[in-house]
Structure 1
Amino acid sequence: MQALIGTGVALVTPFKADFSVDTEALCRIVNFSIDGGIEYLVILGTTAENATLSQDEKELVIKTVVDCNKGRLPLVLGVGGNDTRRIVEELKTRDFSDFIAILSVSPFYNKPTQEGIYQHFKAISEASPIPVIIYNVPGRTSSNMLPKTVLRLANDFENIVAVKEAAGDIVQAMQILKDKPKDFLVISGDDMIALPMVLAGGAGVISVIGQGFPKEFSEMIRLGLNRKVDDAFKLQYILSDCIDMIFEQGNPAGIKQVFEALGIADSFVRLPLVQVDESLSQRIAQFVKNTVK
């Protein structure tokens, strides 16, 4: 899965003032990411406000990105949730011809045991016609997929090809990196520690900030992969303040404010999320003004 090495971005779903999906803005974001050097695009991840999209809106988002991408970059589709049976049904019925892999989050709210998480992904692996990236984000799911579970899945199922590791714990990531099968990819799901994870042996990142600063962030990851450490950290320290800012009042409210400052898309989010406050909006706008040339 060489296509998953480098920087992927978890695309937002831009909205108009009436909170309908803004397909023109979404296409602008896709083009901006591609022009900036991103390696692949992730559709309908957490950052897409997937939880508040109707099924028809999800299909509209998929069609918009596929049509706008025009085959330029590999695409990954988010197919996950906390009802294993429903996910398996989708995997058996959806056309995945436009995608190289699915991204599937560890079950949320149910708080399964490690064995429950294993059995969930076992069912997904057996049903999926394309490779699977498992996704650990305990800050959202309330359960941590432990390294032993990730490694068990990586060793037991050939089509589970990667983990998006977003526990924010570099030590946990290193435990997986130390013992993983040779071709299994460890992808950062945390923008702030993406570079350290790459330097420890990670394959790259599925990023939020990468779509707002695609040129700088994707170059940072490429420098890290090529072991040009000093140059990579120069970019890390340029971007680090904004990485903090875009998560300060929640994702994707922060990154949508970046897009508004760039003039690419409005910053509307759907309840229960709200837009960032005026203070943070001004700080983000100033950062964008000072950074984007």
Structure 2
Amino acid sequence: MYEEIKRRLRGSIAPVITPFDKNLEVDVKGIENLVNWHIESGSHGISVCGTTGEPSSLTVEERELVMETAIKTAKGRVPVAPGTGSANQKETLHLTKRAQEMGADAALVIVPYYNKPNQQALYDHFKTVADSVDIPIVVYNIPGRTATNLEVKTLARLAEDCKNIIGVKESNKDFEHVNRVLLHCGRDFLLYSGIELLCYPMLAIGGAGHISATANITPKEVADLYNLWVEGKVDKALELHYKLMPLNDVLFKETNPGPLKAAMGMMGKINPALRPPMGPPSEPLERELRETLQSYGLVEQVIKS
């Protein structure tokens, strides 16, 4: 039933930021522009309202607006898998059902954050969400943000018992853990890297692609990392992996998406506003961001007289 979407939902699934206008309201036109830019640049899919999209700073109604805008703008050109999870199960169920009603291709559902449920509670939560919809579910495991790690055995139970749980985004620096995901969940289970420096290694062990915040800066290159790998151009993919590393590093020296939005502002892509309590990067990091973007030819170098 889900084979077609499992075939399509591969490669660079761009986790699009949520742009705000000068009044800190959701910039709908900005979302449309970004989604079109990603598709034109070669991104293989779109995700909104994930960590990079600041979902905890959005109301439920705003998250629905962002999801609907992305889905309508994509017009089926690439799959759209919005983030629908939260720390509140009722809210998660509502947003996941709304994503299905809007025509999303899948939903990205995060491990509930802050409340730290045990493994059985996590199983029950995800099974409840999966059973409530027909839409495919990609679980989102990001222990650094949620303070809880979804263990491989729990994920394997979910993959076995819920046929619409088709994959996982692992923002998990434990590379042994992510290897065991495919061992226990099956090699056809979709495994995405959410850690920028693990995008290339994840492909090497059988991953389906990556959901990398850096795609907001260099969508073509992040997509090409996957393209080169599947084309068998391993040396070129490895070269691109190392070429992107300085950019990946600087974007995560402070909490995402602060540096990312600042960089996109320097590129003229968005108004770089974040909603409080998030704030702009420190002045030293601002300078480092600009210098890094200049080194990639993404912004012009200012020549002082």
> Which amino acid in structure 2 is aligned with residue 20 of structure 1?
E
Pairing 1:10-21 to 2, within 5 Å after superposition = 10-21=15-26
Letter in 2 for 1:285: R
For residue 130 of structure 2, the aligned residue among 121, 125, 128 is: 125
Distance 1:12 1:139 in 2: 19
1:89 deviates by 4.2
Distance in structure 1 (CA, Å) of the matches to 2:100 and 2:193 = 27
Residue of structure 2 equivalent to 1:168 = 173
Do residues 80 (structure 1) and 82 (structure 2) align?
no
CA distance in 2, matches of 1:241, 1:92: 39
> Residues of 1 paired with 2:76 and 2:7: CA distance?
17
Does the aligned pair in 2 maintain the 1:155–1:181 contact within 8 Å? no
Q: Equivalent pairs: percent with the same residue?
A: 33
My pick for the range that moved more, 63-72 or 31-40, is: 63-72
Is the Cα–Cα contact under 8 Å of residues 14 and 22 in structure 1 kept in the other structure?
yes
Q: Would you say 1:159 and 2:134 are equivalent positions?
A: no
Which deviations, in whole Å up to 9, do the C-alpha atoms of 1:83-137 show, x marking residues without a partner?
2234234445665342110000011111111111111111111112201001110
Determine helix, strand or coil for the equivalent of 2:186: coil
Alignment of 1:171-250 (within 5 A): 171-250=176-255
Structure 2 matches for 1:1-293, cutoff 5 A? 1-92=6-97, 95-292=100-297
User: What is the identity, as a one-letter code, of the residue corresponding to 2:157?
Assistant: R
**Could you tell which deviates more after superposition, 85-94 or 227-236?**
85-94
Whole-angstrom CA distance in 2 between matches of 1:239 and 1:284 = 14
Q: How far has the Cα of 1:141 moved from its partner?
A: 0.6
CA distance in 2, matches of 1:173, 1:95: 28
Matched AA of 2:154: T
Instruction: Name the CA distance, whole Å, in 2 between partners of 1:130 and 1:256.
Output: 31
1:182 offset after TM fit, Å? 3.9
CA separation of 1:279/1:90 partners in 2, compared to 1, >3 Å: closer, same or farther?
closer
Q: For structure 2, which runs of at least 5 residues remain unmatched after alignment?
A: 1-5, 299-305
- SS of residue matched to 1:78: coil
Return the alpha-carbon distance in structure 2 between the equivalents of residues 161 and 177 of structure 1.
12
RMSD between superposed Cα atoms in Å: 1.7
Rounded to whole Å, the distance in 1 between the matches of 2:14 and 2:95 is 23
Cα gap change, 1:264 to 1:205, in 2 (>3 Å):
same
Amino acid aligned to 2:290: A
